[in-house]
C-alpha cells in the first residue's frame, strides 16, 4: 500500500484526567503553518456527550510537541444549533485567514417537539491569532441552514474567481461555488458511491492538496457493514467539478488494533492532510478513539491514481 502508517501510532489518545477528552480523541484537522503542523481534533468525554475541539502541534509531522489541556472551540451557549457538539473540523487557509468547517450538531430550533439535526458550520480566525493561540473565532455561520449536511471543506484558493466548497448531502459528495462565501450556487454532485467498499455513502475528508497534475482529494466511504475506509481521487485544477481519476480500492482501511478496536470499531476517517516537502501526511481517526498519521510521497499518490 502506498500510504504507510507511522510506527508510533496513535499520536494522540484520550487523557482520562481531562473530562472533555477522556474517552474519544479523533477526526483531526491539520494545517501546516509557521514550520509546524497544527492539529485540531474532535474530543469527547463520553460516547453520547458533546464534541469539542482540542489543539496539538508537531514540528516533524509525527511526534506531538505541544497539546493544550483545554478545548479551543466548543458548543455555543447562546445557540441550540450546535448544543450537542462541534464535530469533525477541517482547516483551510485562504489569504490571511484560516477557515474551520465543522458539523454543527444541535436542535432544529422552533420545533414544538425537540428534533436533532446536523448541518455545516463555518468560522474563521486570522493567521496571526491562530499562530499566537488567541482563539478569536469569527461569528458562526450556517451556509445551508437546517439542511442535513456535513463533511465540508474549502479549496485553498479561488478558482476562476470563485470560492469552492465540497460538502455531503447523503449519499453523495457535492461541489458548490460562491462569490462571497455566503451564497453558494451552481451546485452539482461531484461523486457518488461507486464501489462495494463505499456502498452506503461517501463524504469529504481532508481539504484538497494542490499538485501539478490536479487536486488530490482524500474522502471516506462507508460499506453495507458500516465500516469506514479512505478513498482517493484527483480533480481538475481549473475545473474542480471534473474528476480526473479515482482509485477503485481503499486508500486506507481498518487493519490495526487501533483502527479495528475502539469506541466505534472498524473506522479510518480523515479530516486533514498536509504536504511537507512533497510528502503527504494524512491525519485520521482510528475507531473513533485515537488520532493517527500515515504518509506517502506525492509522486507515489499520483502514480497510484494513474497520472
pLDDT tens column, 271-307: 999 999 999 999 999 999 999 999 999 999 999 999 9
Mean pLDDT of 239-258: 98
Quick check: 34 pLDDT over 90?
yes
Over residues 196-224, the mean pLDDT reads: 98
| List of domains in the chain | 4-304 (2.115.10.20)
At 77 the pLDDT is: 86
Mean pLDDT of the chain: 96
> What is the model's pLDDT at position 115?
85
The reported pLDDT for the residue numbered 24 is: 98
pLDDT in tens, 80-135: 999 999 999 999 999 999 999 999 999 887 777 888 999 999 999 999 999 999 99
Bridge partner list, 211:
214
Report pLDDT digits (tens) over 144-176.
998 999 999 999 999 999 999 999 999 999 999
Written as one string, the DSSP assignment of 57-98 is EESSSSS--EE-SS-SB---TT-STTTTEEEEEEEEEETTEE
Judge if pTM exceeds 0.95. yes
- Angle of CA points 173, 3, 280, to nearest 5°: 75
Q: Residue 78: pLDDT band by 50, 70, 90 thresholds?
A: confident
Print burial letters for 117-152: b (CB count within 10 Å at least 16), e (below 16). bbbbbbbbbeeeebeeeeeebeebebbbeeeebbbb
Count CA atoms closer than 13 A to 69's CA, side-chain side: 3
Residue 60 burial (C-beta neighbours within 10 Å; 0-12, 13-18, 19+): exposed
Amino acid at each position: 500500500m502506498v500510504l504507510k502508517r507511522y510506527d508510533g501510532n496513535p499520536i494522540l489518545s484520550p487523557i482520562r484526567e481531562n473530562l472533555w477528552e477522556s474517552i474519544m480523541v479523533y477526526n483531526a484537522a491539520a494545517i501546516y503553518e509557521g514550520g509546524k503542523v497544527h492539529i485540531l481534533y474532535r474530543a469527547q468525554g463520553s460516547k453520547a456527550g458533546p464534541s469539542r475541539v482540542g489543539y496539538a502541534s508537531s514540528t516533524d509531522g509525527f511526534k506531538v510537541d505541544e497539546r493544550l489541556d483545554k478545548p479551543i472551540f466548543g458548543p455555543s451557549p447562546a445557540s441550540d444549533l450546535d448544543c450537542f457538539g462541534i464535530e469533525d473540523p477541517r482547516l483551510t487557509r485562504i489569504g490571511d485567514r484560516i477557515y474551520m468547517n465543522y458539523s454543527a450538531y444541535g436542535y432544529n430550533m422552533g420545533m414544538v417537539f425537540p428534533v436533532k439535526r446536523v448541518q455545516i458550520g463555518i468560522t474563521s480566525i486570522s493567521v496571526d491569532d491562530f499562530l499566537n493561540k488567541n482563539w478569536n473565532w469569527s461569528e458562526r455561520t450556517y451556509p445551508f441552514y437546517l439542511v442535513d449536511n456535513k463533511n465540508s471543506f474549502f479549496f485553498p484558493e479561488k478558482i476562476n474567481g470563485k470560492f469552492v466548497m465540497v460538502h455531503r448531502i447523503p449519499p453523495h459528495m457535492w461541489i458548490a461555488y460562491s462569490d462571497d462565501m455566503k451564497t453558494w450556487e451552481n451546485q452539482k454532485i461531484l461523486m457518488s458511491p461507486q464501489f462495494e467498499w463505499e456502498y452506503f455513502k461517501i463524504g469529504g475528508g481532508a481539504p484538497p492538496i494542490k499538485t501539478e497534475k490536479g487536486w488530490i482529494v482524500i474522502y471516506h466511504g462507508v460499506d453495507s457493514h458500516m465500516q469506514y475506509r479512505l478513498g482517493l481521487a484527483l480533480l481538475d485544477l481549473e475545473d474542480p467539478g471534473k474528476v480526473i481519476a479515482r482509485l477503485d480500492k481503499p486508500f486506507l482501511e481498518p487493519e490495526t488494533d487501533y483502527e479495528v478496536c475502539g469506541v466505534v470499531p472498524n473506522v479510518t476517517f480523515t479530516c486533514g492532510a498536509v504536504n511537507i516537502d512533497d510528502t503527504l501526511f494524512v491525519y485520521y481517526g482510528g475507531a473513533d478513539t485515537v488520532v493517527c498519521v500515515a504518509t506517502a510521497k506525492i509522486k507515489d499518490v499520483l502514480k497510484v491514481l494513474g497520472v
